[in-house]
Amino acid sequence: MNERGANAAATDTATIAYVLRLGDDALIASHRLGELVSRAPQLEEDVALANIALDLLGQARSLLTCAGRMEEQLTGVLRTEDDLAYLRDEQQFTNCRLVELPNTDFAHTIARQLLFSGYAFELYAALRDSADDTLAGIAGKAVKELSYHRDHAARWTVRLGDGTRESRERMKAGLDAAWPYTDELFAADQVTRSVSEAGTGVDPARLRPAWEEFLAQALSDAGLDWPETAPITGPGGMGGRDGVHTEAFGYLLAEMQHLHRSHPGAAW
Amino acid sequence: MTAEEALLEEVRGLAAAVPDPEMPMVNLEDLGILRGVARDAEGTVTVTITPTYSGCPAMDAIRANIRERLAEHGHTRVRVRTELAPAWSTDRITAEGRRKLAEHGIAPPTGAAPAPGAALVPLSVRCPRCGAFTTRELSRFGSTACRALYVCESCREPFDHVKPL
């Protein structure tokens, strides 16, 4: 293989890994919200969380399908969206740990949604200019949906933060619990360096200032302070992007995958 | 018009008239989700559609309904292709589509679609039942991905509104 061929192959591997990350983020964020269907505090909120979960699931399906097809071009073996969602083990998922954090209570869910959708909005806004047409197309749709998701989370942050003493304490606790997992969203590694050089992806650090600006506004509207809990990394400084997850993730996967694994090929 | 053009026009007309599974008063043309029709050298017809939202669960039904409608008219080699870019926007709903929605109690989108990230300040939405503008958003997320739930302060009736996207 000549030098150019080797570079192209390396870039492909990185792009596949990158698209897979985005797909895993959307899939796991969607599954966590899906757990709340029929359990939200109000009927309207039940519908809202289910709708947001559905948008994220749609994004996940597009992204995982895209990653599977890119991989097929490289290896000749196709993994479908279902293969990727249901037949990988915990260490093979590269979602950020933020999206897998348990719901705990409504304020925890809103805190996770605020931090994640604020980030994903900036990410997809930037990815509309991706050199990869498929990724740019997915981003063009996702950014509009994320615009509604982050607004939903920001409005609840205000209601809870500026509500009763109880709701305020819970909102603070939710933010404190999720905050340690936010550094991971903006960390660069081999994959992000490769895709940002190739123009297919973005350097995540570039997204941070706009995310902080959005967050500062939401927190200030809610009368809440900037969270100060220290970052938490996994063993050896590793995290979700390395396939190292929190304890809660194994339980999530067991529930998400058990039907498909118990009845391979089952269809409605 | 050549025979080929006539055939494509017929296929386009058939696909355009397929009703939306969740809002059957409007069809694919009204919603602006039909992107085009083509036929290759082997005679396979490709119908291109675009989803309203990434996770729109009606897409599978829409694909099946297009194939069924075309098969009824003798077009059996049909492929339905989904295209994401350019992203669908409520601006693509036709005037006819807006009229039909309102006639059936669903308030059509107001104004132009917002730029992503712009403040989501809804314009006054007109009650499709009594015509009053004194309406209030109950929930930004309604019975389908594309709708929000509103209530009219004048006639007190709740109604759906296709929210700008």
Partner-chain contact B141 A152, CB within 8 Å = yes
Partner-chain contact B139 A137, CB within 8 Å = no
Which residue in B60, B89, B141 has the most chain A C-beta atoms within 10 A of its own C-beta, making it the best mutation to test that interface? B141
| ipTM, two decimals | 0.92
pLDDT at residue A241, as a whole number: 97
Categorize the per-residue pLDDT at A244 as very low, low, confident or very high, splitting at 50, 70 and 90. Answer: very high
What is the nearest CA distance from B12 to chain A, expressed in angstroms?
A: 24
For A234, the token pair is: 């996994």
**B23 Cβ partners below 8 Å, 6+ apart?**
B31, B101, B104, B106, B144
Q: Each residue of A123-168: pLDDT tens digit? A: 999 999 999 999 999 999 999 999 999 999 999 999 999 999 999 9
Which residue in B53, B54, B137, B138 has the most chain A C-beta atoms within 10 A of its own C-beta, making it the best mutation to test that interface? B54
DSSP string, A99-162: GGS---SHHHHHHHHHHHHHHHHHHHHHHTT-SSHHHHHHHHHHHHHHHHHHHHHHHHHHHHHT
pLDDT at residue B112, as a whole number: 81
What is the nearest CA distance from A137 to chain B, expressed in angstroms?
A: 5
Map tokens 């004048």 to a residue. Answer: B154
> Domains along chain B?
3-82 (3.30.300.130), 98-162 (no CATH)
If phi > 0 it is left, if psi is from -120 to 50 it is alpha, else beta; for residue A120 that is alpha
Residue spans of the domains in chain A: they are 3-262
**B145 Cβ partners below 8 Å, 6+ apart?**
A51, A54, A55, B52, B53, B55, B56
**Residues lower than pLDDT 50 in chain B:** none
Average pLDDT, chain A: 94
Q: Each residue of A78-132: pLDDT tens digit? A: 999 999 999 999 999 999 999 999 999 999 999 999 999 999 999 999 999 999 9
- Portion 95-124 of A in contact with B at CB < 8 A: 121
- Specify the CATH superfamily of domain A3-262: Ferritin, core subunit, four-helix bundle (1.20.1260.10)
